[in-house]
């Protein structure tokens, strides 16, 4: 039986809401309350994201006054998923990453009301921070968000100009000044270790197996931006190694960040970015990746494994789609057709990647 999605109420005083609307780029939290199941939680609110702040349906960052037991943390994100006509691509991606053994935030669909008026269907996302680690009983460690395309693991910007700093493209979520230096050292090593020593040396800085699992997820879902953007880096304090965590995966499963069709063969099996290229240049890592990807294409990234998940999400959201004030009749019709498009993408992408495996020998 399909379960209903929960309703979350956001209460904010008119003068604070006016401040929020008058400056969409403001990062300062404004007083608010979050209401769920009749319980009220004091919180601060601001918009989140980059270009998405200009959309009619805004995304929000909610910060609680300290640790919140209900949400197992002190912060959540409410993503509008405005450019994704299916409203499920982000969640489908994070669930898929978790299935294949990669760290990824928990998420759930919710219906949001703002001061008693419907705002529509949102995706509630867990923040990737110290509470994210604690919830999974992982060692503490610094966390960085890759916020711009300069987070490409290169010494150069995507325009091929030299970076002013190797920290360019990142925001630090957790950690100290020393941790920033460690990240810069990691990026420098990616680019300067000689080819003949790369396989041995990179394992001192990167959890290669976990990176390759992340790479399988990014390649299967075909998040073009995800190789130089839309990820978090966590450095495990016990191993001293960096690990990848996906973030913002709405431009996937056959659509790009504008919501336009992206053909199933747009991103090759080798992916992109300097780190991936150097890893796959090493035969041992390339063979490891090929075997991982082959297994995932046989088990997790299939119509049989994913069709029930797609169908269940759609059945949950269908009741609420007409209540979303940002959905027109045209967009609702498009929403109804998206399962077929997503499943066709999975079928085509699976076949394409199986053919690409021979290029990884």
pLDDT for 49: 87
Q: Which residues of 90-112 are buried (b: 16+ CB within 10 A; e: fewer)?
A: bbbbbbbbbbbbbbbbbbebbbb
pLDDT for 65: 84
Cα atoms found within 13 Å of the Cα of residue 173, Cβ hemisphere only: 21
Q: Which residues of 187-223 are buried (b: 16+ CB within 10 A; e: fewer)?
A: beebeebeeeebbeebeebbbbbbbbbbbbbbbbbbb
Q: What is the mean pLDDT of residues 145-173?
A: 95
Q: What is the mean pLDDT of residues 86-102?
A: 98
Residue 314 neighbours by CB under 8 Å, 6+ apart: 86, 88, 338, 339
CA 246 to chain centre: 4
**Tens digit of each residue's pLDDT (9 = 90 or more) over 244-260:** 999 999 999 999 999 99
pLDDT mean across residues, the chain: 96
Question: Given a cut of 60, is residue 344 above it in pLDDT?
Answer: yes
Residue 273 neighbours by CB under 8 Å, 6+ apart: 152, 153, 154, 227, 228
**Tens digit of each residue's pLDDT (9 = 90 or more) over 100-112:** 999 999 999 999 9
pLDDT for 51: 82
Q: Confidence class of residue 82 from pLDDT cuts 50, 70 and 90?
A: very high
Q: At what angle do helices 303-321 and 89-99 cross, to 10 degrees?
A: 150
Edge-to-edge strand list for the sheet holding 143-146: 170-174, 143-146, 231-235, 242-246
First to last CA, the chain: 45
Residue 14: both structure tokens together:
């008119």
Count CB-CB contacts under 10 A for residue 125.
Answer: 23
Q: What is the mean pLDDT of residues 152-176?
A: 95
Q: Confidence class of residue 262 from pLDDT cuts 50, 70 and 90?
A: very high
Tallying the residues shown for the chain, one arrives at 361
The 3-class secondary structure across the chain, one letter per residue, is: CCCCCCEEEEECCHHHHHHHHHCCCCCCCEEEEEEECCEEEEEEEEECCCHHHHCCCCCEEEEEEEEECCCCEEEEEEECCCCCCCCCHHHHHHHHHHHCCCCCCCEEEEEEEECCEEEEEEEEEECCCHHHHHHCCCCCCCEEEECCCCCCCCCECCCCCECCCCCCCEEEEECCHHHHHHHHHHHHHHHHCCHHHHHHHHHHCECHHHHHHHHHHHHHHCCHHHHCCCEEEEECCCCCCEEEEECCCCCCCCECCCCCECCCCCCCCCCCCHHHHHHHCCHHHHHHHHHHHHHHHHHCCCHHHHHHHHHHHHHHHHHHHCCCCCCCHHHHHHHHHHHHHHHHHHHHHHHHHHHHHHHHC
Q: What is the mean pLDDT of residues 165-188?
A: 98
Q: Confidence class of residue 2 from pLDDT cuts 50, 70 and 90?
A: low
The domain ranges of the chain are 7-126, 137-301+352-360
Label residue 40 exposed, middle or buried (CB < 10 Å: 0-12, 13-18, 19+): exposed
**Tens digit of each residue's pLDDT (9 = 90 or more) over 194-221:** 999 999 999 999 999 999 999 999 999 9
Cα Rg for the chain, rounded, in angstroms?
21
pLDDT for 1: 43
């Amino acid at each position: 039986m399909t379960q209903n999605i929960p309703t979350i109420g956001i209460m904010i005083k008119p003068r604070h809401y006016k401040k929020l609307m008058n400056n969409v780029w403001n990062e300062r939290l404004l007083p608010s309350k979050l209401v769920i199941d009749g319980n009220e939680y004091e919180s601060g609110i601001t918009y989140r994201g980059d270009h998405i702040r200009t959309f009619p349906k805004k995304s929000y960052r909610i910060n609680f006054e300290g640790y919140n037991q209900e949400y197992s943390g002190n912060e959540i994100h409410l993503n509008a998923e405005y450019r994704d006509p299916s409203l499920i691509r982000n969640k489908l991606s994070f669930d898929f990453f978790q299935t294949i053994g990669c760290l990824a935030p928990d998420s759930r669909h919710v219906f949001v009301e703002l001061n008693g008026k419907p705002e529509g269907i949102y995706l509630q996302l867990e923040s990737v921070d110290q509470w994210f680690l604690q919830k999974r009983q992982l060692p503490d460690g610094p966390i960085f968000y890759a916020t711009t395309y300069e987070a490409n693991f290169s010494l150069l910007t995507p325009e091929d100009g030299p970076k002013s700093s190797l920290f360019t493209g990142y925001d630090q979520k957790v950690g100290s000044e020393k941790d920033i230096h460690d990240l810069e050292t990691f990026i420098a090593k990616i680019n300067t270790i000689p080819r003949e020593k790369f396989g041995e040396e990179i394992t001192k800085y990167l959890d290669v197996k976990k990176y390759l699992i992340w790479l399988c997820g990014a390649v299967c879902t075909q998040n073009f931006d995800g190789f130089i953007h839309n990820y978090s880096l966590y450095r495990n304090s016990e191993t001293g190694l960096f690990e990848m965590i996906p973030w913002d995966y709405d431009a996937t499963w056959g659509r790009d960040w504008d919501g336009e069709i992206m053909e199933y063969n747009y991103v090759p099996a080798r992916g992109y970015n300097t780190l991936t290229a150097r890893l796959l240049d090493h035969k041992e890592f390339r063979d490891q990746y090929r075997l991982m990807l082959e297994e995932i294409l046989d088990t997790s990234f299939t119509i049989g494994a994913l069709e029930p998940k797609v169908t269940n999400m759609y059945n949950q959201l269908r009741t609420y789609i007409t209540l979303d004030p940002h959905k027109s009749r045209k967009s609702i019709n498009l929403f109804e057709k998206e399962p077929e498009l997503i499943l066709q993408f999975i079928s085509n992408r699976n076949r394409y990647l199986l053919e690409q495996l021979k290029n990884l020998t």
